[in-house]
Structure 1
Amino acid sequence: MQTTRALGSRYVLERQLGSGAMGQVWAAVDQRTGEEVAAKLLRPEFARDPEILTRFVQERSILLDLVHPNVVRVRDLVIEGDDLAIVMDLVRGADLRARLRAAGTLPVGEAVRIAADVLEALATAHTRGVLHRDVKPDNVLLTDAEPPAVLLSDFSIARLAQETTVRMTGVLGTPDYMAPEIFTAETVSAASDVYGAGIVLYELLAGRPPFAGGGTGYAVANRHVTAEPPPIEGLPAPVDAVLQGLLAKDPARRPSAAAAAAALRDLLPAVAEVGGLPVIPEPQAWASARVGEMPAFGVLGHRPAADLDPGATNIKASAAAPAELPVAAPAEDGPWVAPHAAPGDDTASAQTQLRAPRPQPVAPAPAATDEENSRTGWLRDRRTWWTVGGSLVAVGAVIGVVALTSGDDGARGTRGGTATDTAVEEVTAIGPTGQLPSGLSVVREAAYDPEAGSLTTTVTWSAENGIAGPLFEAVPAPEDGAPCPEVSWSVLAVRDVTPGVATTACGWQVPVDVPAGGDATASYTVAFPGGDDVDASALRERLVEQGTATDAALEGLVATAVYPAQRLEALEVQIGDTVRVAGTVDLVVLPVWRGTDAADNISVVFSSRTPAPTVLLRQLGGELEVRTDDCTGSLAFVDRVPYANTVGSRCTVSVRLGDLESRSRTFDVLQNSAG
């Protein structure tokens, strides 16, 4: 007979709703409010694991702050005795797995709507630095309303229990829904969640995950890495184009969760009435992935827990440069464009934000090799021009009018040229270099095409330490009060929705990573009907305005690690109350964000208690120097962790990151009380 029992001092567990590998789910009552809630009671071994308990406490505020209409809201976290529980909203309904079992496949419109809801939930989580890590139909709940609301659950389980789960099983997640990079490089990112959502969408449409089937878990993993998803007969082409983008082997080729959700929303009107498709059988043979899609890597075997980094959030796509074909449906002569319906088909296109910019004319480059000539692409040509003018960047030089021509003989045209020599004058300018405290440098170049009435801005970020994206860029409206301009990007940038950034800032989230000692570039094009009155000085003023608008937009953010390289203003070094001989110095390095008065004690840069590089430190390049300038006889350092060797007085610890340096308070090293 099932009996009720207390959970902490506030809740009473009334009846068990289910159980799984992580623990039991109970219906409970909140004694303060009388509301019925759900409590996920984790297995007792989690409550006895100090690392899990530490993570539980550290991430409480993050989970409680994760509020979205498509996320099961976490209300409380309970730690008492052997009880470790997550209290959340009680959802009346069933999970998506049950819906799929009953239906076989879902109508295309319903599947697209559910996938869009899941991706929007993921997008909100990713902006708050939270990964799900286990997106599958079992973790998607459908309410009993009509139409049912879609709620993504178990962020808390995947996030809090990841360390212990990896130690116990060697991998976290369900193989049928796991991204290739998890098997090949044991890295997890926001792009991995997007891939999982793509697998779910495929299953809703086809009745089975694309790579499920006979064989071991290793065989499933190998299919994720090397095989093409079996085609879904009858699937509208625009939906298939977005689906292929979600399932790209290379994480850098996948759209962000926000961009993918917007693309699917754009397709909904056209596919709302399309019914379910037949369940596809398991293939007799698996087609190999396209050469351009298949990464040059293989599936790794099980590795010791000490070699894994399961606690990493790693909210970025990939260290690889943005791909020229980020999603699908490559055009013959340029980067990816939003998928359109076939002629005569009234199916809507995917989200226009994903569309790459119109190729712009460029200055004639030096003679290239045959191999270089084969690599066409507007972005490459713009980078060639940038290299030629690179010596001018440091002084913020302004470049005047450049004549760009086209013609059969390749000769330079003039305003008085013949009909076969068409000339287009392009005004270009380079803005000043902006150096941020994190060590990130930003330079903007503008190119105005009067014939097209467009302005193309190229932003180049560089750093001595590698910087993980995404990065933020404001594209100001042409005048105060005007709507944000339509923008075409060379990468899969999406409109920024970070809390604290005003929508009037016209901000964009740009998915680029800056390699150590190198640079990263992204370009965008907007309409700019300036006529013949635009000159280089006017363009340079606009570039300065864009930099000012970008900086101002980031001032309003709350103290979370969003766009850290662009917001880091200072470091605060904290030392524990007492330092004794033969002990580790309790050292914590915290970020101070621009526009705030105090350090952010949630987003830790470094802690001697857990010396492995934090997510934030990796985002900022990972090169943190820790030293002492005045107590070298008393302190020693191993992997940035300070140890107290002998008694000392008036010691300090200094840290350096990028262009920032900070020093701790003065402290004494005391004799060990046991000595």
Structure 2
Amino acid sequence: MEPEIGEALGASYRFVDRIGSGAAGEVWRVRDVRDETLRAAKVLRREHAQDADLVERFIRERTVLTRLRDPHVVAVRDLVVEGERLAIVMDLVEGGSLRQALDERGTLPPAEAVALTAAVLDALAAAHAVGTVHRDIKPDNVLLDRDAREGDDPGAAVRVVDFGIARVLDERRRSTTAVIGTPEYMSPELVTLGEAGPPSDVYATGILLYELLSGRTPFAGPGTDFTVAYRHVSAEVPRLDVPDDLWRVLARLLAKAPAERPSATEAAASLRRLRASIAELAALTPAAAPEGFVEAERPATVLRGVAPTAPEPVAVSSDEPAPELGAATQATVLRPMPRREAPRPVEAEPEAKTSLWTRMPRGRALWIAGAAVVAVAAVAAFFVFRPPAGESAPAAAGPVVTSSQQDRALPTGLSVSRSVSYDPEKKLATVTIEYGAQNAPLGGPFLEVLPGAAESDACPAVTWADATVDRNQASVTGISVPCGWSVDGLTVPTQDSVTVTAQVSIALNGQEAVDAWLKAAAAATTKAISDSEVSGAAYPVQRLRSVQVTTPSRTVGGTALPVTLLPVWPSGPDPVNPLFTSPSVGEPSAMLDAVAGGTSGVRFSDGCAGALTVSSDGLVVTALSVAPDCTVRARVGNFTDLVSPPFGITTR
């Protein structure tokens, strides 16, 4: 069922009206009932809730954006997980998008286009600094805040959104078999290799600037999505009637080779230097589609054996018909990339009575002769400079490898995400653990397991920061798990998150090993906190599964009703260590502080049609009139709609 106007979104928001939609979700204006503030909520369509990839990208949008703090990036305020409904609550940006501005105006004056583009690059520079690539920059994903426009700088209004399909840099440094992006804005390396880094964002921003100046993207035209996308690889960018200085900067942004493009920071600075010289230029007349595209110069010969920095692109013959994938659009697409097998060369049968040299043109013969000399020299160098027998050449340190993982939210409202950045040269893994809370503040201690590289390995040395951390003591907690740590001294505010960092000395070999180690750490932690053989109140935020409301089976009218809140662990209810008793005496328990922020997170309510009354602080229930079948309702932190078993109210 799609959201309806006035319907609740979690406990804090109400849907107001729909303001946009896309392939995976809808954007709604919502009202925060706590302070009546209007926000924007991006809601994943229910039919996609079982799609693991879409859910991962959707949740990642919140995770990524909470790490970004830049005036030109839309700020994320909340993540709502409610049954099969997932929603990211963001600041509401009123003023429309760059797409709407283009639709209304056709083209923008160069000075304005340059200012807006520089602000987009500022947002990307902030994202790149924390290891994030947007992957889908286009006018639709650039909003204009009408309340933030300042003087003669239109760039002050820019707010970049939709990092939902962003790929964290180095998360998986390998080719993908899928293309994520919009065909008219895809970089050449994304089209041919399925790989995107910061240069891809810079390229897409160059396409955006071209469109702001001319009213069209450079490679739009007839053909399928594949045809449009492949023009980024095969065609030259049609020249615009703009000053040479501006064209040179734009051409650098749109360079075919990623290494030839400037960084986002450098590009923003270059554009701002141009503003004074183009301040008086009028907007261009919207450009018509060119009659054809000029083929870009690309190397025809590849010298194999030279270690490439990226997988070699497979050439596609221009004579082959493009596969029919549908009409070209500006919609973001996720489409499998075909794996192409390079055809094996067919060996020609030698002709009798004529030698290869007599049939070969003189220039080619000389070229092959030179190549043969180089090959002989290379072989000789191998034998001269190779290490002595029994020794191996020192291996070059590989690049930093990263990985990330997120647990399913626990009943207490705790969400845990983990990311690791592994330096193979130092054999050091830097682990960042983010704890998030939903409807109540949460506190430690939290259990974290950081195992060795293999199951049989000893526990690695770990240095912690941002928290008070000790080794888990099985004699105290009742949880016997190797390599366990007790992370304390943290309070996670409601609807917010905190992080803690650990540096682990460990030897891991490549991306798969890093992925497997982080997965093993998360799995070991989950197994330990879910052990049904463990009793006791250790690590309550992670181990609490429910809360049981208990009362006497009968009480007397006119007296306070004794109510006890029992924690339910994986091993079952725990009557020995109650969370709370009402009427209460003394300070709240450490467990209640951890899972609900103390008594402020506890509220009782009448479940007996007026036969009960509750004190103003919601903590004391009094029986009023005779009733044979009553219940009391309770809320404890993230646990809502708790109900006691039926009880009776009698006279004395």
TM, length-normalised to structure 1: 0.47
TM, length-normalised to structure 2: 0.48
Who wins on radius of gyration, i.e. which is larger?
A: 2
